[in-house]
Structure 1
Amino acid sequence: MMSDLFFLDISTLSKLIQTKKISPVELTKQVLQRIERYNPTVNAYINVLAEDACQQAEVLERELMEQGVRGPLHGVPIAVKDILETKGHETTAGSKVMENWIPDRDATVVRKLKEAGAILIGKANLHEFAMGATTENPHYGVCRNPWDLERVPGGSSGGSAVAVATGLCYGAIGTDTAGSIRLPAAICGITGMKPTYGRVSRNGCLPFSWSLDHIGPMTRTVKDSAILLEAITGFDPLDSATVSQADDVMWDQALPDLKGIRLAVVRKHFFDDLEPEVEWLVEQAMRDMQALGAEIAEIELPGLDEALQALKVIAQSEVLAFHEPILNKYKDWYGEDLKYRFSFGQSISAVQYLNAQRTRSKFSQELREKLKGFDGLLAPANAKRPFLIGTVPPDQAIGNMFTLGRTPFGNITGLPALTLPCGFMSGNLPVGMQIIGRPFEERRIFQIAEVYERSQNWVAKLAENETYLVR
């Protein structure tokens, strides 16, 4: 089946490109044709870079014939969230405010992808300025869930998730301030990694919150996420938060099972108010991991509620600091839900902000002590089925990330957090599970997740989904 081509994992696709069984030029044309056919239904892309992508493919194909491959991303079509600067192409941030802005440089992540040989196929749709959990964009159109077209795909990296889930690219880059990689990944049935704070440069990404923003990969498989993260990781003098040294992401040998792996579970917050089907599926995934050899122990995290409240204070203060000069001139151009966010930010005092940062620091230090002796922490990713489009009023949107997901914990702590599929609830809607690790131990999380992924068949479900094909 031709559709099988669009759901290949990156490792398999790379081998086909390297052995010249698939041409980067022909592959890019096929993906562009698929985008032309299905993007009008799901609205995953704001801007498809067809001409530029074909030119990139021609250059990379000549290079393949004359010099060989740069690495596993050579000739592979990849999407990036349209909040990352792309030289010579509009970067809208999903907002009317930025609709005509054409940067004169690439974001560091985009530059690294190009250097790795990836083909930039398009700019993915997002919640306006990455400030929401639904990707109901009032300026560039609603992005639709590929499993139920009347529901949201999650946000803010909804377009990136949908593009990956529907075979409109082989991987995508998203951003994550309170779960904007992991929530849409979980809701759309794919894998998403929010790396450790400081592993990936944010240079060239329009900020939401300097203290909480992360950039990371969204893919169909665990190994694909590792390949993408390896390509974009590293110190950048243009982002002072990046670290000069961190352990490599890739691994030489897969774990045969989970024997010797210790995983923690925190019931408070993570398992509060879960939809029963979500809770059952996550519990079943944990039982499956125990059957694979993992030891799972329950722990408590005092101060968690206060830390999550601190995240809200920090995020809304910092986003207002960035937007305030623009707000003075273009307030009416923003979506209604963003206006409520800015109103909340304006009510926060400097004392409250500084106390929130102190709360964050104290909790993160205590957490690292709690996680000693554990390889990771297990938690649900999405808490319930996604909203029907248009059902949440703007004044309630600020709480959507906490209502729909259990992801903000990873941002207030800066810890690496991976979500991967763990089943489907009624209505054929995906559910995701998080594995949260210790700082800069992404490789360990990937290895653990890969063992679980091998034992399941959730990845294959993406190619079988026909919901968005019939509209």
Structure 2
Amino acid sequence: MNKNDICFTSATDLARLVKKREISPVEIMDAIISRIEQYNVLINAFSDLCLDNALKAAQKAESDVVKNDTLGLLHGVPFSVKDLLITKDVRTTFGSYIFENNIPIEDAPCVHRLKKAGGILIGKTTTPEFGHKALTDSPLFGITRNPWNLERTPGGSSGGASAAVAAGLGPLAVGTDGGGSVRIPASCTGIIGLKATLGRVPHPQSPDLFGNLSHIGPMTRTISDAALMLDVMAGPDIGDPHSCGLFKDDYQTVIINKGSKLLKGMKVAWSATLGNTQVESEVLEITKASLKVFDNFGCEIEEVAPDFESFEDFYLVLMYSNLAARLNQYVESYQKKIDPSLRYAIEKGNQYAATDLQKSIYMRSQ
């Protein structure tokens, strides 16, 4: 297997090959590092890299294999983390000059679990400041580009994660999603992105213990890898009151052994517009074509036309109010270093009344 093949091999297969001693963690890491050095300069997917430490971790992982130690689900597999989640001894800036020199002293629970399963952190992926928009650029790190077309965006706010996975700069990336920040970039780059259910992956960093918008989710090139990441990251954590218990079966086993059987006879509803938006004709045709997958699995497909009000209106109230509450204290000191679109969001957030916020919470609930 050459380096290019390694970089586009799934995490599921890499972990299996490591356990069978058909490939070493060092071989995997060498291939990933070479590709990062070649392509990251073009797409700017990473805000920070920790490749020296990653190589040392790969060498330790290889030694564990030789010694017949117990190996985790991700033993020797590289992964990256969005620069909104804390990582021990690796800079976490939130894409902002405000936290340019922030070095956390602990890992987010999902990062800790990925490491405990044998995964190796290779770096932090880019995000717009505080994940505030669906494009990935920031005054601190510049523009992140789509690996399929460098003149286009990989989406956001997990744009660095999606660009890295799509370009073969690691098979696994951790993203966060409030209003599409995993799903939008996954769509823009042709990978898998899942906004996991609230509490499925614990997120103690959330400032709101009563109505969190942001969920953590996997970004991968295969559904099996997304399931593998969830198997590792999911589960309760004392720091997140929303976190929930483990699924009765592991996700990957269900997908591999039962996936098509579980779908047979299931009713699948779909809507082109959700009753409140317009869709490009090309997107509509691609979406309709994708429904054939469910048809082939024996699902009953029904088009529905829900009468939902615009999500964007109340979502922006929730998001902008949150940003204003968190960042007002920094605006004066960092005025010239804050993204203009973030300044606008903060200004709008300060204009909303308490009744606007409460109405948006009601609308979200409905």
Range of TM-score over shorter length: over 0.9
| Amino acid of the structure 2 residue aligned with 1:37 | Q
Query: How far is the alpha carbon of 1:246 from its aligned partner?
Result: 4.5
SS in 1 for 2:170: coil
Deviation sequence 1:384-416 (CA, Å, 0-9, x none):
xxxxxxxxxxxxxxxxxxxxxxxxxxxxxxxxx
* Kept in 1: contact 2:3–2:31 (CA 8 A): no
- Separation in 1, partners of 2:293, 2:58: 42
Aligned pair in 2 of structure 1 residues 210, 56: CA closer, same or farther (>3 Å)?
farther
Distance 1:307 1:27, change over 3 A: closer
- Report if the CA contact (8 A) 2:161-2:219 is conserved: yes
User: Which string of whole-angstrom CA distances, capped at 9 and with x for unpartnered residues, describes residues 1-21 of structure 1?
Assistant: 531111111221111101112
Q: CA separation in 1, counterparts of 2:156 and 2:355?
A: 30
1:337 aligns with 2:313: no
Which of 324, 328, 337 is equivalent to 2:328?
Answer: 324
Look up the match of 1:132.
Answer: 133
Partners of 1:338 and 1:297 in 2: how far apart? 40
Q: Which residue of the partner structure matches residue 90 of structure 1?
A: 91
Deviations 1:286-323 (A, max 9, x none): 13422432211123433x21554322211211222111
How far, CA to CA, are the matches of 2:43 and 2:207 in structure 1?
25
Question: Partner of 1:197 in structure 2?
Answer: 198
Which residue does the alignment assign to 2:145? 144
Matched letter for residue 299 of structure 1: V
Deviations 1:256-311 (A, max 9, x none): 46431210123443784222111111111113422432211123433x21554322
Q: Which residue of 2 aligns with 1:35?
A: 36
Map 1:282-301 to 2 at 5 A: 282-301=287-306
Are the structure 2 counterparts of residues 341 and 174 from structure 1 closer, same or farther at C-alpha, using a change threshold of 3 Å? same
- Give the aligned residue type for 1:316: Y
- Structure 1 residues 59 and 206: CA distance shift in structure 2, 3 A: farther
Contact kept? 2:110, 2:202, Cα under 8 Å: yes
**Is 1:356 aligned to residue 360 of structure 2?**
yes
Task: Tell whether 2:310 aligns with 1:309.
Answer: no
**Contact 2:81 2:161 (8 Å CA) reproduced:** yes
- Measured in 1, the distance between the counterparts of 2:4 and 2:66 equals 27
The alignment partner of 2:113 has SS state of helix
- Cα-to-partner distance string for 1:27-51 (whole Å, 9 max, x where unaligned): 2122111101111011111111111
**Does the CA-based 8 Å contact 2:82-2:127 persist in structure 1?**
yes
- Structure 2 counterpart SS, 1:264: strand
Q: 1:276 and 2:288 equivalent?
A: no
Would the alpha carbon gap of residues 206 and 77 (structure 1) be closer, same or farther in structure 2, given more than 3 Å must change?
farther
Distance in 2 (CA, whole Å) between partners of 1:41 and 1:165 is 13
In 2, distance between residues paired with 1:43 and 1:210?
Answer: 33
2:275 touches 2:305 (CA, 8 Å); kept in 1? no
Residue 350 of structure 2, aligned match among 326, 346, 350: 346
Q: 1:53 aligns to what?
A: 54
Q: How many angstroms apart in 1 are the aligned matches of 2:275 and 2:259? A: 27
Residues 36-435 of structure 1 correspond to what in structure 2 (within 5 A)?
A: 36-204=37-205, 211-244=212-245, 246-248=247-249, 249-252=251-254, 253-256=257-260, 258-269=263-274, 272-302=277-307, 304-305=308-309, 307-361=311-365, 363=366
Q: Deviations over 1:198-235 (max 9, x none)?
A: 1111124788x962101110000001000011111111
Amino acid at match of 2:118: G
| Amino acid corresponding to residue 355 of structure 2 in structure 1 | V
The answer on whether the counterparts of 2:177 and 2:214 sit within 8 Å (CA) in structure 1 is: yes
> Which gives a bigger RCO, structure 1 or 2 (Cα 8 Å, sep 6+)?
1
Instruction: Identify if the C-alpha distance between structure 1 residues 270 and 136 changes in structure 2 by more than 3 Å, giving closer, same or farther.
Output: farther
Change (3 A) 1:270 1:103: farther
Do the aligned residues in 2 keep the contact of 1:210 with 1:318 (CA within 8 Å)?
no
Task: Write out per-residue CA displacement over residues 56-93 of structure 1, whole angstroms, 9 at most, x where no aligned residue.
Answer: 11222222222434333110000111111111121111
CA RMSD of aligned residues (A): 2.0
Between the aligned partners of 1:142 and 1:62, the Cα distance in structure 2 is: 39
Seen in structure 2, the aligned counterparts of structure 1 residues 205 and 44 have a Cα distance that, compared at 3 Å, is farther
Structure-2 change in CA distance of 1:230 and 1:306 (3 Å):
same
Residues 146 and 154, structure 2, Cα contact 8 Å, conserved in 1? yes
Q: Tell me: CA distance 1:121–1:162, structure 2 relative to 1, closer, same or farther (3 Å).
A: same
Partner of 2:259, secondary structure, is coil
What SS does the aligned partner of 1:305 have? coil
What letter matches 1:323 in structure 2?
L
Unaligned runs of 5+ in 1: 364-471
Q: Secondary structure, in 3 states, of the residue corresponding to 1:217?
A: strand
Deviations 1:167-219 (A, max 9, x none): 10011001101000010011101001110011111124788x96210111000
Q: Kindly indicate whether the alpha-carbon contact (under 8 Å) linking 2:175 and 2:217 is maintained by their aligned counterparts in 1.
A: yes
Q: Sort the Cα spacing of 1:5 and 1:250 in 2 relative to 1 into closer, same or farther, 3 A.
A: closer
Separation of aligned partners in 2, 1:356 and 1:261: 33
